[in-house]
Amino acid sequence: MVGARGTVAAILLFAIGAAWAQDHAAHAGGKPHPQRFALGSSAAVDSSGTIWAVHVNGGRVAIRHTGGVGQSWSAPVVLSEAEERIEADGDARPKIAVGASNELYVTWTHPLAKPYTGEIRFTRSIDGGKTFSAPVTVHRDRQQITHRFDAVAVSQRGQVFVAWIDRRDAVLAKEKGETDYRGAALYYAVSDDRGATFRGDFKVGDHSCECCRIALRPRSDGQMDAMWRHVFEPNVRDHALAVLAPDGTVTDLHRVTFDDWRIDACPHHGPSLVADGAGTLHSVWFALPSDEAGAFYGRLGEGRVDGQRKLGSAAAEHPDLAAAGDMLAVVWKEFDGERTQLRAMTSSDRGQTWRDQVLASTGDASGHPQLLEAGAGFVVFWNTRAEGLTLTAVPR
């Protein structure tokens, strides 16, 4: 007997094509997939030059370290609990920041049962990675709603900032019958005691985009710059920047990119933000107001972007950048139809002129590349299916 459900199945499978369905039946026929080593991962460098990476292995957050390029990784140490699901794809990936005394601060998003909901989880090590605390939830709000896309950074005064995307205001607006609340909101919490406790939840602002990572940058005054994809009226998904104080005060929320990308979509493609030695803000981001657009670099000015340029070809995606004095490096990935290229451009004059280079490539899936300042130069951390966790020095 074919009920309503069966009819739908038949129609869809008919459309897909029997040959194709048969072709795929073999490998979709209940055989478990090989244990997946999720590609969403992040890295940070401590004061001794040791590189720490967090990634998801066998469904749990794990941490490993290495002395640098060309050296092997330590065995993974598991940080999350066995029953806890972890988000680890694209911009939703575990994050790590290092304190001045080599404290290790790790966050991740634990998705809850309802779609699109989650909690921001946190653990720390204050003994240089020998032991880690039991994971805790950072935010006070415990509704089963979106708290996702965590970001973590340590201020110049050693305070730990954790920011995330939060839908509590969207939920409230809906309950009041308002249907036009744009996007979600941005919230943060601060720890004054090296991650033992957090104060919060402090609101940064309404109307963030719902699915892009947040960029945090420690300022010299002890506050934190946050940059994120915003939803400006009516549906412009350009970027905003604000200054977060440790007491929860938020100042100077303003627009910093001007591509006028009008869309109700989920780009899943967040920005990065650094400052050079003179204090100029440099950023990479993604915007698609036309087919010719894509991944961009630019210097954030007052109400304008200076030196904005498109990165690579039309396939350039998921850029990151780093700065050290007058030196800048930008990295991104680019699929050429056969392989995924890891490409970079470097500048020794604070972004006035650039040199393009191809650093590496891989023939299978890969995570988002991340630039680190390690030792005397820049190093790209890139998690690839074929090669595992890789480190590539960026030639100057």
Partner 1 sequence: MKLPRIRSWVLICLALLAAQAQADSRLLPFDARSPAALRQANAGRPFVLVFWSVHCAPCFAEMAQWRAYRKQFPGIPIIQVATEPLDESNAILSVLDRYDAGTTGHLAFADDYAEKIRHAVDPKWRGETPRVYFYDRDHKRVARSGAMDPEWTSRWLEQQSR
Candidate list 36, 174, 254, 310; residue touching partner 1; CB under 8 A: 36
# of chain residues touching partner 1 (CB under 8 A) = 60
Any bridge partners for residue 185, and if so which?
166, 206
Window 147 to 206, contacts with partner 1 (CB under 8 A):
none
Is the Cβ of residue 100 or residue 172 nearer to partner 1 in the bound state?
172
CB of 392 to partner 1, least distance (A): 19
Integer Cα distance of 247 and 53 in angstroms = 30
Candidate list 288, 307, 308, 392; residue touching partner 1; CB under 8 A: 288
Is the Cβ of residue 103 or residue 210 nearer to partner 1 in the bound state?
210
The DSSP annotation for 147-199 comes to EEEEEEEE-TTSPEEEEEEE-HHHHHHHHTT-----SEEEEEEEESSTTS--E
Is the Cβ of residue 113 or residue 134 nearer to partner 1 in the bound state?
113
Is the Cβ of residue 4 or residue 134 nearer to partner 1 in the bound state?
4
Is the Cβ of residue 64 or residue 268 nearer to partner 1 in the bound state?
268
Is the Cβ of residue 159 or residue 370 nearer to partner 1 in the bound state?
370
Instruction: Select the span of 110-118, 151-159, 323-331, 371-379 touching partner 1 (CB under 8 A).
Output: 110-118
Strand duo 95-98 + 104-111: pairing: antiparallel
Would you count residue 15 as binding partner 1 (CB under 8 A)? yes
Candidate list 175, 247, 252, 291; residue touching partner 1; CB under 8 A: 291
Is the Cβ of residue 23 or residue 349 nearer to partner 1 in the bound state?
23
Which run of H or of E encompasses 22? helix 18-28
Integer Cα distance of 327 and 330 in angstroms = 10
CB of 273 to partner 1, least distance (A): 21
Instruction: Select the span of 122-130, 262-270, 273-281, 373-381 touching partner 1 (CB under 8 A).
Output: 262-270
The total of other beta-carbon atoms located within 10 Å of residue 387's CB is 13
Distances (CA, A) of 89 to 59, 75, 283: 12, 22, 22
Structure tokens belonging to residue 253: 């929320």
Cis previous bond, 201, omega within 30: yes
**Closest to 275 measured CA to CA, from 319, 320, 314, 328:** 328
Is the Cβ of residue 206 or residue 326 nearer to partner 1 in the bound state?
206
CB of 346 to partner 1, least distance (A): 24
Amino acid at 347: S
Window 295 to 354, contacts with partner 1 (CB under 8 A):
314-315, 317, 333, 335, 337, 340
Candidate list 78, 245, 364, 381; residue touching partner 1; CB under 8 A: 364
Is the Cβ of residue 68 or residue 289 nearer to partner 1 in the bound state?
289
CB of 314 to partner 1, least distance (A): 6
Integer Cα distance of 294 and 203 in angstroms = 30
Which positions ≥6 away from 268 have C-beta within 8 Å?
90, 91, 211, 212
Instruction: Select the span of 29-37, 273-281, 302-310, 371-379 touching partner 1 (CB under 8 A).
Output: 29-37
Strand duo 51-57 + 60-66: pairing: antiparallel
Q: Is residue 127 classed as helix, strand or coil in its secondary structure?
A: coil
Backbone φ/ψ region at 331: left (φ over 0), alpha (ψ -120 to 50), beta: beta
- Which residues sit at the interface with partner 1, rule CB under 8 A? 4-6, 8-25, 27-30, 33, 36, 39, 85, 89-90, 92, 111, 113-116, 210-211, 263-269, 286, 288, 291, 294, 314-315, 317, 333, 335, 337, 340, 364-365, 385
